[in-house]
Amino acid sequence: MASRRPFSEIRKLWRRHPLDFMFWGLLCLALLVGGGQAVAGLPLLADLFLPAPDAKPLPAVTASTTFSRPLSTSSRYAPEVLQPVSQGVLPEWLRAGHRTHVSPAPVVAARRAVLTPIAIVIDDMGGDVDQSRRAIALPATVTLSFLPYPASAAALVRDAHREGHEILVHVPMQPLGSANPGPNVLDTRLDAATNLQRLDWDLARIEDYDGINNHEGSKFTADRDALNLIMGVLAARHLFFLDSRTSPETQVVSAAQAANVESAGRDVFLDDVDQPDAIDAQLRVTEKIARKNGVAIAIGHPRANTLDALWRWCGELQLRGFALIPVREAIRLKSQRDNVREAALGRH
C-alpha cells in the first residue's frame, strides 16, 4: 500500500493544479527534444511566468495600443512575446495606417450620382441694398452681377467677395426702346473713343470681377461693329461676356468667339413675371434645359419673390439631381458642347 501512496499524492496534485502539471510536462518535453537551445530560452519563459517583484506593470491595452515582435532572441526556440509599443514613437506612415485601422473612414460608394450643372446669375445688384444683401447670402456658387453706378455697389461687392461669389459688371448698353439703362451707357450713336471711355468707367467702379453681362442692350448687342470695339478690351483683360440675350438679333457670342473671348448666352429669365408660381415654373424650365443640354444658365434679379424661390430651390437642388456652378464654368461647358457639335457636323 505504501508503494501506491506517491501516485495517490500525484493524482491529488493533478486534480488541484492541472495547469502546473501541463507546464512542467511541456518543459520536460522541450528539454528532452531541444537540449541546450531550449535551456537558452528559459530566462525569457521565466520572465513571463515569474515577473520580478519590482517590475513595472504592463501598460494598459487600449484601442490605440499596437504591438511588435522583439527585434532579436537568443534562440529560435525562445518564445516570441508581443511587446506594447507607445503610439508616440511610431513613424508617421505607421501612425497614419494605424489610425485608418482603428477609425476607418466612411465607405465611399463606388458610383456617385452625376449632378447636372446649372448656373444662376443675379444681376441688377447694388440698386436695392437690402435685397442685394439677401442675394449675397445665397450659396457662394451663385454669380452676382453689379451695376456700376449705384453708390452702394463698392461696399456690396466687397461683401460678396468675402462670401466667395463670382462677380460680374452689369454694363449698361443701348436698348431698342426708350428704357433708360443708367449713366455711362454704351451707345452705337457715340464715337469709339467715347464708348471706350464709358466702358473704362463702368469697369473701374467694380473690384475684382471675372466678366461682364449686358444691362438692357438690345440695340447695342445687335451691332457687330460696336461689339468688336469692346471685345478687344475684354480680350486684353481676360474677361468673359455673358450675353443676357435681350434681343433675338444679338451678335455677342459670334463676336466674342472671333476675338477669343469666352462667351455664351443665358437660357432662361427667371422673373420676367414677378410672381412666385411663375418663378418656380421658370426654375423647372431651367432644369429641363439642363437635363437636355448638359448645362443651363438662368438670370434673375434681387427681388423678394425671386430670392424666396431661390432659397427654396437651392435647399432641394442636389436631391433633384442638380449642382450649382459659377457662370464662367457654365460658359466653358457650353463652349465645349458647341465645339463637339460643330465637329460632329463637320464630319458629316
Whether 121 and 145 have beta carbons less than 8 Å apart is answered as yes
Main-chain dihedrals φ then ψ at residue 122, nearest 5 degrees: -105, 110
What pLDDT score was predicted for residue 23?
67
Cell of 196: 471706350
pLDDT category of residue 18 using cuts at 50, 70 and 90: low
pLDDT category of residue 12 using cuts at 50, 70 and 90: low
- In whole angstroms, what is the distance from residue 198 CA to residue 183 CA? 9
Cell of 269: 429669365
Whether 240 and 328 have beta carbons less than 8 Å apart is answered as yes
Confidence check: pLDDT of 97 > 90:
no
Whether 168 and 211 have beta carbons less than 8 Å apart is answered as yes
Confidence check: pLDDT of 122 > 80:
yes
In the chain, the percentage of residues whose pLDDT exceeds 70 is 67
What pLDDT score was predicted for residue 67?
43
What pLDDT score was predicted for residue 111?
44
- In whole angstroms, what is the distance from residue 297 CA to residue 334 CA? 9
Residue-wise DSSP of 1-41 = -GGGHHHHHHHHHHHH-HHHHHHHHHHHHHHHHHTHHHHHT
- In whole angstroms, what is the distance from residue 75 CA to residue 134 CA? 77
One-letter amino acid at 56 equals: K
Q: How buried is 106 (Cβ within 10 angstroms: 0-12 exposed, 13-18 middle, 19+ buried)?
A: exposed
The three-state secondary structure class of 297 is strand
185-244 per-position pLDDT tens digit: 999 999 999 999 999 999 999 999 999 999 999 999 999 999 999 999 999 999 999 999
Q: pTM of the full predicted structure? A: 0.68
Across 246-347, the runs of DSSP E, i.e. the strands, are 263-265, 268-269, 296-300, 322-324
Helices and strands per DSSP (H, E), number in the chain: 13, 11
Contacts of 299 (CB under 8 A, 6+ apart): 120, 121, 122, 123, 213, 244, 266, 268, 269, 270
What pLDDT score was predicted for residue 274?
98
pLDDT category of residue 178 using cuts at 50, 70 and 90: confident
Average pLDDT along the chain? 82
Confidence check: pLDDT of 87 > 80:
no
What pLDDT score was predicted for residue 341?
79
What pLDDT score was predicted for residue 346?
72
Confidence check: pLDDT of 130 > 80:
yes
pLDDT category of residue 45 using cuts at 50, 70 and 90: low
In the chain, the percentage of residues whose pLDDT exceeds 90 is 63
Per the rule left: phi > 0, alpha: psi between -120 and 50, beta: everything else, 126 is left
